Structure 1
Amino acid sequence: MTFTIRTNHFLFILAAVAGSLTGCRDKAPAEEPAHEHEEAEGKVGLSTLQYKSVGVVLGGIESRQLSGQLHVNGVLDVPPQNQVSISIPYGGILKYTDLLQGMWVNKGQVIARMEHPDYIQMQQEYLDAASQLSYLEKEYKRQEELSRENVTAAKTFEKTTADYHSLRVRVESLRQKLALLNIRAASLTTETLQSSVPVISPISGYVTEVNANIGKFVQPNEVIFEIVDTRHLHVELMVFEKDVPKLREDQKVRFILANESTSREAEVHLIGREISAERTVRVHCHLLKEDKDLLPGMYVKATIETTGGQTDALPGEAVVSAAGKHYIFLQTVEEKGASTNPAEEHTDEAEREQIHFRAVEVGTGVSDDGFTEILLPEGFDRNTRNIVLKGAYDLLSKMNNSEEEGHHH
């Protein structure tokens, strides 16, 4: 009785162990696809026919000097010496002008005439003082001669000398005042007194402001006209301080105006040495070609081309993106029986055999002239010639499709 119980108990244990082993065998095949998919992740294969159809081209890393780009904003401006505000030092009435905004004027051209009784009064005072100075100069020389011969008192000579020098100062002062009114004192006589005075343009340029009309009384130093010489326009760009180390003089600049698609060219001429409250630095750029259609104050969007040193680079189409990351593909060792020269394979063999590739995540830098800077992962063999230069997009597409099918299964 006791023996039977133990035998049954032993058989029960054996049955349980066998069931557990059978359960393990049943579960194993279900785990294999996931394992296979994990091994295949980041890898993709092409048949030799697909290889030829895609037109895969292999190559290696190149060392190139690439240009980076800074995208900045700015305005068109002119140097202070090429933009003038015209006024007169003594108030008067605008008697004549034919200026309109947009007109071109030349340096030295009479652009207006002003009149006021005070102008005539100043001319009269100058002529009177000049006449007195002529008489007093003769008297001064006479007293000087008498003083040397001890004929006249020293006190008389001293007074004559003081009067003479004082009048000379007054005549020179009046002459300078008349010069401010563009009146040549040297040619002034009682017959050439001028009731109006000319306003002369100090530079050549376009009229940008006309602030008075004929008959208006213009206050002293009130701006009547503004003239800008647009032949010396420049671009003032605002560059953030973090980007200033990338700047160099003579770097190429391309800029466009608002609502325009055609770019114009300039080059960096001066880099500011002061950081504004907005943490920016002013960069002064010269236009490479004069353009009379441009006006000061116009806003521009600009691109500064910054050139770095030699860097690792690949053609742009060799670098693909997925989920915010950048990849390149490497052709790996083929499976047994795969061709090393797909072009020489027969069709039936080409349909069976696979050429394998592996995706490698890389960093990217600047892009220029069809090439992209590549930041390689640690341990990467930069001398390899198995990098896919052409066909990377097709490989990425096939890899993504394979992964989606794997997820569905």
Structure 2
Amino acid sequence: MNRIKYNSILLSLTLFMLACGKKTEPSTESAEVASTQEMSGNTVTLSTEQAEQATIQTGTFTLRPLSDYLDVNAELVLGKEHTALVSAFTEGIISELRIRNNSNVAKGGVLAVLRKPDLLDLQQQYLENKDRMVFLETEYQRYKALKENDATATKNFQKAEADWRAAQTSGKLLAAKLRQYQIDPAKLTPDNLRTELLITSPVAGVVTRVDASLGQALNLGDPICEVSNLAYLHPVLYVFEKNLNQVKAGQKVHLKFPGGNEQVFNAHIDYLERSVDAERKTVRVHARFDHTSAASNQQMAKGGFLNARIALAEAGLLPALPEEAVIQEQGGYFIFYQEKKEARSITFRRVPVKRGPANDGYVAVEPLETLPQGAAIVLKGAYYVSANGGVSAEE
């Protein structure tokens, strides 16, 4: 209160002296000085034009529900159960390649066409065996009728029965092989023989890698492409062992791309692995995106890195400022408040502060010096004030 009174008296005296002085027009040199910033100790003086140009906004603290947090690195990972490595299930030559990187495919959608000329042999064997079974069944029925009165017929019946049963077994085996090659035995005729096979996707998703080329000869098991269901993309947080006692399932996580826009993706911790990552010397903590953030994961790519912030214990309602109001320089954190406002200039004072928990663009702030009652704190434009003032510590 004393300080406010002191400032009011000082301002009144200044105005009185100016009113009693000579009323002369300011020289060009004086105008130039008034339009530039001045620095003295921990104060910065800007012209009113500069302050307006920088759209500096002032205000005061607000109470916010903030939490302590733990900053860690995160990586976007897709489980193997949601990734399909499509490979050739037989030898052949790729006659069509119907995909490219980042193609969307449905489950059962055609990825490529494989030409397999020797597939004709299998279809020929099936059709010949099918025709032979008609003759063998006729022989079986004939000898069955004769065996009651003829010993020789009984022997022939046994042979006919064995041949018929063997043909039935061969027919079933050949039919099963045809189904593996996507050929329906019941619809196979000499007029619709096939030499090409369709390679289909076992899952719905996006093609994240193409390994084969048009006209390439493939052997059994050769890779064709990779299909990933990115709807199940989730962040894996890398937490050092010393911090594991602070982390548990259900905690909220806020993620942002490094160096990107300020969009925040919300998630929660799902589970912690029980082994240490050999490369990073950390424990992998799996998180799941919330529903609102999951809808935005189309811009995400498998293997991408993010900055993650794990919310720890709730700290309650704390005095907070927008994060842009707190500047970092000279190894510490500072804020500015408006100390004096005149017709042609505004003076700001820098105050060191201690940062606390942060969330949703606000950070808890504890001034390390006493602020005047009702101080107008710079909420927007603090970095402009600092950059134009070249503030240095007072002697």
TM-score by length of 1: 0.56
The Cα RMSD (Å) is 5.1
Q: Which residue of 1 aligns with 2:308?
A: 303
Q: Which has the higher mean CA deviation after the structures are superposed, 155-164 or 227-236? A: 155-164
Q: Does structure 2 conserve the Cα–Cα contact (< 8 Å) formed by 1:72 and 1:301?
A: no
Q: Which residue of 1 aligns with 2:283?
A: 280
**Secondary structure of the corresponding residue to residue 224 of structure 1:** strand
Q: Which residue of 1 aligns with 2:357?
A: 366
How far is 1:197 from its partner?
A: 1.7
How far is 1:179 from its partner?
A: 2.8
Are 2:185 and 1:185 equivalent residues in the alignment? yes
Q: Which residue of 2 aligns with 1:200?
A: 200
- Indicate how the Cα distance of structure 1 residues 90 and 315 shifts in structure 2: closer, same or farther if over 3 A, else same: closer
Letter in 2 for 1:70: L
More strand by share: 2
Are 2:111 and 1:111 equivalent residues in the alignment? yes
Q: Which residue of 2 aligns with 1:212?
A: 212
Q: Distance in 2 between matches of 1:389 and 1:165?
A: 102
How far is 1:368 from its partner?
A: 4.4
1:254-282 superposed Cα distances (whole Å, 9 cap, x missing partner): 221x5423434141252133222323123
How far is 1:223 from its partner?
A: 0.7
Q: Which has the higher mean CA deviation after the structures are superposed, 244-253 or 151-160? A: 151-160
Q: Does structure 2 conserve the Cα–Cα contact (< 8 Å) formed by 1:247 and 1:306?
A: no
Are 2:298 and 1:292 equivalent residues in the alignment? yes
Q: Distance in 2 between matches of 1:229 and 1:137?
A: 51
Aligned residue runs from structure 1 range 140-179, under 5 A: 167-179=167-179
Larger Rg: 1
How far is 1:387 from its partner?
A: 11
- Indicate how the Cα distance of structure 1 residues 119 and 227 shifts in structure 2: closer, same or farther if over 3 A, else same: same
**Secondary structure of the corresponding residue to residue 127 of structure 1:** helix
How far is 1:123 from its partner?
A: 1.9
Q: Does structure 2 conserve the Cα–Cα contact (< 8 Å) formed by 1:73 and 1:238?
A: yes
Q: Distance in 1 between matches of 2:206 and 2:112?
A: 15
**Secondary structure of the corresponding residue to residue 231 of structure 2:** helix
1:32-87 superposed Cα distances (whole Å, 9 cap, x missing partner): xxxxxxxxxxxxx847435999xxxxx9xx9x853232322232233334322222
Q: Which has the higher mean CA deviation after the structures are superposed, 230-239 or 158-167? A: 158-167
- Indicate how the Cα distance of structure 1 residues 171 and 263 shifts in structure 2: closer, same or farther if over 3 A, else same: farther
How far is 1:95 from its partner?
A: 1.5
TM-score by length of 2: 0.58
Q: Does structure 1 conserve the Cα–Cα contact (< 8 Å) formed by 2:94 and 2:217?
A: yes
1:223-280 superposed Cα distances (whole Å, 9 cap, x missing partner): 1122233333322322233434433326243221x54234341412521332223231
More helix by share: 1
- Indicate how the Cα distance of structure 1 residues 173 and 260 shifts in structure 2: closer, same or farther if over 3 A, else same: farther
Q: Does structure 1 conserve the Cα–Cα contact (< 8 Å) formed by 2:269 and 2:285?
A: no
- Indicate how the Cα distance of structure 1 residues 165 and 372 shifts in structure 2: closer, same or farther if over 3 A, else same: farther
Aligned residue runs from structure 1 range 220-369, under 5 A: 220-244=220-244, 245-249=246-250, 251-256=252-257, 258-268=258-268, 270-276=270-276, 277=278, 278-286=281-289, 287-297=293-303, 299-309=304-314, 313-315=318-320, 366-368=357-359
- Indicate how the Cα distance of structure 1 residues 87 and 300 shifts in structure 2: closer, same or farther if over 3 A, else same: same
Q: Which residue of 2 aligns with 1:49?
A: 6
- Indicate how the Cα distance of structure 1 residues 179 and 315 shifts in structure 2: closer, same or farther if over 3 A, else same: same
Q: Does structure 2 conserve the Cα–Cα contact (< 8 Å) formed by 1:68 and 1:368?
A: no
- Indicate how the Cα distance of structure 1 residues 177 and 314 shifts in structure 2: closer, same or farther if over 3 A, else same: same
Q: Distance in 2 between matches of 1:50 and 1:140?
A: 120
Letter in 1 for 2:6: L
Q: Distance in 2 between matches of 1:259 and 1:238?
A: 19
- Indicate how the Cα distance of structure 1 residues 388 and 48 shifts in structure 2: closer, same or farther if over 3 A, else same: closer
Q: Distance in 2 between matches of 1:133 and 1:51?
A: 114
Q: Distance in 2 between matches of 1:212 and 1:307?
A: 48
Letter in 2 for 1:282: V
Q: Distance in 2 between matches of 1:144 and 1:387?
A: 113
- Indicate how the Cα distance of structure 1 residues 196 and 305 shifts in structure 2: closer, same or farther if over 3 A, else same: same
- Indicate how the Cα distance of structure 1 residues 95 and 368 shifts in structure 2: closer, same or farther if over 3 A, else same: closer
